[in-house]
Amino acid sequence: MKGKCMTKLLPKETGKTVRFEVSADPKSQVFVAGTFNNWNPTASPLKDNPDSGHYKATLSLPRGKHEYKFVVNGVWCMDPNCQDWSPNPYGGLNSVLQV
């Protein structure tokens, strides 16, 4: 599905290590951007499990509240499975994670 983001799992918290997981079309370019990487849309790539469309990355984050979005093929996507959202200055919502 071009231009769509489909998330399946919430980030899994383990102390300061957080695993982000998202499903997207195989061979997509998938990243996570948020307050933890200055909203850089290409700083934190997620890796595809060979052509499965299941992308994941494990990041070390400082304790505290972090807002984030997935970036799939240049399209910013909220995590619809995240239960905590915060309004952003662009009229949309960011997913929120407490570490």
In a domain, 5, yes or no: no
Q: Quick: pLDDT tens for 29-39.
A: 999 999 999 99
Cβ pair 31, 71 in contact under 8 A:
yes
- In the chain, pLDDT over 70 holds for what percent of residues? 85
* CA-based R_g, the chain, Å: 12
In a domain, 65, yes or no: yes
In a domain, 30, yes or no: yes
In a domain, 1, yes or no: no
User: pLDDT confidence of 51, banded at 50, 70, 90?
Assistant: confident
Cβ pair 50, 12 in contact under 8 A:
no
Q: Domain range for residue 24?
A: 12-98
Taking all residues of the chain, what is their mean pLDDT, rounded to a whole number? Answer: 85
Token code pair at residue 27: 């061979």
What CA–CA distance (Å, rounded) separates 34 from 13?
16
Number of domains in the chain: 1
What CA–CA distance (Å, rounded) separates 82 from 27?
24
* Residue 64 belongs to domain with CATH number: 2.60.40.10
Q: Which is more confidently placed, 6 or 28?
A: 28
